[in-house]
Structures are given as structure tokens and as C-alpha cells.
A and B are shown apart, each in its own frame.
Chain A
Amino acid sequence: MSLLRITHSLLASYMYATDGESPDNAYDRFLRVLNREKEPDTPAMKEGRRFEDEVTKVIGGGVSEDEFATEFGRLLDGATPQIRAEKVLHVSGLDWNLVGVADFIRAGTIYDTKRVTRYEYGKYQRSTQHPAYFRLFPEANTFIYLIHDGKYNYQEQYLRADTAPIEPYIMIFYEFLKTNKLFDIYQEKWEER
């Protein structure tokens, strides 16, 4: 039986494209993600990576000129950066290989940095990231988003006990692909070799 790769980013792209309030191009963007088309990094993506690199530098004992990255870096003292994990899930009669890379983990808590331009508390409440990562890292019981909007640092915390499992999200995604005749494309592009 084939093994289908699934990531939080793919699920997030699908959910954003179909939530009814997203910009018109969100669905086109989802189709490009589904087709695994390489897209040039946007300035926002570059800034996000720069911010995370600065945080990592501080954790490693370095000095950053970015005061907000320094604040998060100090908070994350001793954390391990960039931990990749994968887990095979059986959902809707298919095998899915859930893959993810945690920004930082320390003593039972997963941390993910987010560099955004606009922030409102609860932004990540419906995210598939913490459900997915709780599945990938079964020993972690807390997930904290560390958010910076250019002016301030924020935190949003989610507990395993309050988090829905990831499987229903995958189930709904699969139903969507079948209904919209996109499953063949997905299978072709995302099947693990």
C-alpha cells in the first residue's frame, strides 16, 4: 500500500483556501502547494527565517542585535532546535506519513516562532500545527507559539489535553480531495518514494 506524505503546511494551505474568508488567490496557492511547485521566497518568509535564526543564535550563546529575538532566545535557553519527526497514521483506510520539523523543543514543551505583520490573540487556535506536532512528539504536553509582530512579542499556549487529534483534519482533507477530483494529483505528487 502506498504511503502518502502529509504535513501541517499542506493542511494549513488547504484550510486557508477553503475557509470562505480568504483572498481569491488562496485556492490557487493551495493548488500550487498540492502540485509541489517551487515558489520563490517572499520577503515575509525570509524575515521569518531571519528571526528564527536570530533566536537560534541566542540559544547557542551568541548575541543578536534583534532585541525581540534575544528575548525569545533567552526564554528558550537550553532548547534543541530543528527536530524533524515523522509518524505513519492510518486514516480513512490509507497510510499517511505525517512529517514535521519542530522549531525548538525543551523538557516536554514544543516552541514555534512566528514572525507576522499583524497579530490578534487566538490566531493559532484553529491551526493544525499543534495537533500535528503533538502527534509527532508524543512526550510533549505543551505547545507554545512565540509570536513577534515587529513591535511586540506574544505567546499563545496550547495543552495536549485541550487539543483535538490530527486525524479528523486528515480525514476531512481526504474527503475534500476526492470530492474535488484532486486526489490523483495529491497521490502522484505526495506519495513517499
Chain B
Amino acid sequence: MAIKDNIQIKTDFVNKRYVIVIAGAPGVGKTTLALSAPNPLLIDFDKGIARVKAEHRRLTAEEDSYDEFLADLETEEYKNCDTIILDTGGSLVQLMQPWARATDQKAARDGRAMFGVIKSEFLRLTAKLRNDGKNVIIIFHTTEVQKGDTVMTRLSCEGSVKDIVWTPADLGGTITIRGKKRIINFSPTEESFGKGCYGIRGEIEIPELTPGTPNKFLTDLFERCDANIAKEQAEFESMKLVYDETLATGSAIIAAIKDAETATAAVAKLGNLKHALTSKAELSGKLQAKTKELGLKWDKAVSAYVAA
């Protein structure tokens, strides 16, 4: 049974794991930032770990093939880590190409079919990592695309993985350097994509890592998410109770409508309900559907429903 009530959901949030997309131009510090997540295992498809300062390096697997990577997902190191970092998503897709051609006959002949296989495998892979209870960080280089007068940054990746990767992501941000500051933006802008959630949105400055400074930006961010989720859940729960009760009461009022007279009376009853979240709009939609079904229309002149 996968259906969960509010209490079960709340319990699940205690051990919430996050999927996050980190994008940016080469050299802005994406890998170092990713390594600030809790207990990480870096999957280095880019062979770029040497560019990370020694004190910030963590457990790393360098992969020469996709099969090698899949084998590493069976190791104790993988089982014991809390966060898995895919660095980069673009290189992972490149590594998947010979694997896809070897495992699928159609993919071996047809490039489009190959990217279809990769897309499916990428979805399976990210679902597996999440189901294994890992935070998942997917790093992407960015490329610039001219769109009208605006230069937009896009994830650098072949095929459509760059489009599907945002759906399971809780958070996504693009790193830019402004003066001496490094900024990650979790909100979409004219120039770049972003995805905020759990109260995390907009620009956040990434602290400078001087020697000896612990690298824990994402660990702290995840803790903020946990706290925000708990706070939002508490606020939402009280509103949701009113919302559920109002929707149930309002739906019963609407179900009892039989003609213009009862429809007009229902408007007053619905107006007297205590609303929360979008209960007012939703009951309005249900009323619209019901009166349409009965062939009624609202007559402003007499403030009542009449036959259409």
C-alpha cells in the first residue's frame, strides 16, 4: 500500500532525501559545492576530482564505462554513503551511449532510439538512487544559447536527459560568479533555470572556503529544508483540515442542488463556509459544473440562478 496519510507523510519527511541539480560554467566550483553534502560519494565521470582542493576531496569513484558505474552501485562504499554525486550528467549520458548500443539492438542502429534508451535508463537510475535512500546531486556544465536579446544558459547534455532531470529534482540552481562572490540561484530567471522548494528560493551566496573552513553548504541547506518542511507541514496541516472539511461540506451542498432555487440558496451557504487554501475556487468550479449540468445561469440583475 503506497497511499500515505498526513501522519505517515510527516514521518517520511524526517528522513527526507533530496535530489538537486547544480549547473554552471566550468571552474565555478560545482564539484566542491556538491561535496559539501552529507557523507558523499562522488561519481567522477569527468575525471575532474584533481581540480578540487585536496582538503575538500571525498570518496570518489572514477568510471570508464557505464557497466563499471553500475557495478560500483553494489559496493559497500555506495551502501554506506548518504549522498551520491553524478559529475557530470552530460558525461554520464556520453558514457551511457556505448552501453545503450550494446544492450539494445534498435539503439545500435538508430541514434534517436539510442537516446530513448538512455532516457529510460536515466529515469530508472535516478529512481533507484532515491529508493536506495540517497541524496542525489547531478552536476551539469552549462552552455549559452541566444534567445532574442537574451543570452540564456542551458544544461550541457546530449539528448533529452537535460529536460527530464528537472522533474524529480527538489532543487536546482545555477552558479554564477559576481565580482568575488559565488552565487547560486534557485529561482528561474530570464537567463537561467532554477527550481526552488521547501522555502529555498532565489539567490544564495556560497561562502568562500578559506583553508580549514568546513565545506558544508549543502549539508546546512538540507537541514534548512528539513526545518522548513516541518514548519510548512505544521502550517499546512491546520489549513488542510479546514480545506478538507470545507470541501466535504461544500460538495454536499452542491450535490443537493436540484433547481434554480436550491442553486441560489447554495451560493449563500457556500459563502458562509470558512475557506482555506483553494477551497473557495474549487467549490466555485464544482458549482459551475453542477449549474451547467442543470442548465442554469447566474442572472446578475436578480442575483439568482435562472434557467439558461
Nearest Cβ distance between residue B18 and chain A, in whole angstroms?
15
Give residues of chain B (263-290) contacting chain A, Cβ–Cβ below 8 Å: 275, 277-278, 280-282, 284-286, 288-289
Known: A107-B278, A162-B201. A154 touches B243 (CB 8 A): no
* Chain B CB within 8 A of A173 CB: no
Residues of B within 8 A of A137 (CB): 278, 281
Find out whether the CB atom of B116 lies under 8 angstroms from the CB atom of A151: yes
* Chain A CB within 8 A of B193 CB: yes
* Chain B CB within 8 A of A168 CB: no
Find out whether the CB atom of B201 lies under 8 angstroms from the CB atom of A84: no
* Chain A CB within 8 A of B131 CB: no
Nearest Cβ distance between residue A110 and chain B, in whole angstroms?
8
Nearest Cβ distance between residue B55 and chain A, in whole angstroms?
35
- Bound: A156/B167 CA distance, A: 7
* Chain A CB within 8 A of B187 CB: yes
- Bound: A158/B166 CA distance, A: 12
Nearest Cβ distance between residue B61 and chain A, in whole angstroms?
28
Find out whether the CB atom of B187 lies under 8 angstroms from the CB atom of A84: no
1/0 per position for B158-201, CB-CB distance to A under 8 A?
00101111110000000000000000000110000111110001
Surface stretch bound by B, among A1-9, A38-46, A75-83, A89-97: A75-83
Known: A20-B148, A157-B195. A108 touches B277 (CB 8 A): yes
Give residues of chain A (151-169) contacting chain B, Cβ–Cβ below 8 Å: 151-159, 161-162
Find out whether the CB atom of A122 lies under 8 angstroms from the CB atom of B116: no
1/0 per position for A117-131, CB-CB distance to B under 8 A?
001111001000000
Known: A82-B285, A107-B240. A121 touches B278 (CB 8 A): no
Nearest Cβ distance between residue B247 and chain A, in whole angstroms?
8
Known: A122-B193, A125-B188. A159 touches B201 (CB 8 A): yes
Closest partner residue, chain A, to B243 (CB atom): A107
Find out whether the CB atom of B288 lies under 8 angstroms from the CB atom of A155: no
Q: Is the interface of B mostly helix, strand, loop or mixed?
A: mixed
Nearest Cβ distance between residue B301 and chain A, in whole angstroms?
14
Nearest Cβ distance between residue A20 and chain B, in whole angstroms?
5
User: How many residues in B have their beta carbons less than 8 Å from beta carbons of A?
Assistant: 36
| Residue in A80, A107, A139, A162 whose beta carbon sits within 8 Å of that of B285 in the complex | A80
Find out whether the CB atom of B285 lies under 8 angstroms from the CB atom of A121: no
Known: A107-B240, A121-B162, A152-B164. A158 touches B278 (CB 8 A): no
User: How many residues in A have their beta carbons less than 8 Å from beta carbons of B?
Assistant: 35
| Residue in A20, A119, A139 whose beta carbon sits within 8 Å of that of B277 in the complex | A139
* Chain B CB within 8 A of A28 CB: no
Find out whether the CB atom of A155 lies under 8 angstroms from the CB atom of B167: yes
* Chain B CB within 8 A of A24 CB: no
* Chain B CB within 8 A of A17 CB: no
Nearest Cβ distance between residue B122 and chain A, in whole angstroms?
11
Nearest Cβ distance between residue B229 and chain A, in whole angstroms?
15
Residues of A within 8 A of B166 (CB): 121, 154-156
| Residue in A85, A119, A140, A151 whose beta carbon sits within 8 Å of that of B284 in the complex | A85
Residues of A within 8 A of B280 (CB): 139
Residues of A within 8 A of B164 (CB): 121, 152, 154
Show the binding face of B for A, using Cβ within 8 Å.
116, 119, 147-148, 152, 154-155, 160, 162-167, 187-188, 193-197, 201-202, 240, 243, 275, 277-278, 280-282, 284-286, 288-289
